[in-house]
Amino acid sequence: MKRTALLHAELSQVIAALGHGDMLVIGDAGLPIPDGPRRIDLALTPGIPRVADVLKVVLSEMQVERTLIAREAIGQLPVGQLPAWCEGQLAALPETVSHEELKRLSARAKAVIRTGECTPYANIVLYAGVTF
């Protein structure tokens, strides 16, 4: 699954160990992280790093088959428009689920990455794909 080296050792190790269909969650600073998944805390200060920054690096390293975001992240935007933190980074529009469902799903993730993002609902679930 892994393509090149990442600067953050824990994140690199998690991506290298992902199997087809495994989930990786990138979350804002307020996303509750359940017991179970590996926790990777990248937050330095409010806003650093942003979800968009972490998503860009992860997408360069990971083959993604499917993505989920919370319906609440889209809010009142026209259909098909993505929140600014994921705009232009995804090959296809993500599926949407309620924020409560996204939090429940995160309990089954291999890892949850906590960022310094302070934008409400700036959370994304990535499902690992295969490179062939």
Q: Is 20 a catalytic residue?
A: yes
121 assigned ligand-binding residue: yes
122 assigned ligand-binding residue: yes
Task: Check 3, 20, 39, 104 and give the catalytic one.
Answer: 20
128 assigned ligand-binding residue: no
Cα distance between the two ends of the chain: 10
Q: Are strands 64-70 and 124-128 parallel, antiparallel or unpaired?
A: antiparallel
127 assigned ligand-binding residue: no
8 assigned ligand-binding residue: no
Q: What are the b/e assignments for 104-130, b being 16+ CB within 10 Å? A: eebeebbbbbbbbbbbebbbbbbbbbe
Name the binding residues for substrate.
28, 99, 121-123
Name the binding residues.
28, 99, 121-123
| Catalytic site positions | 20
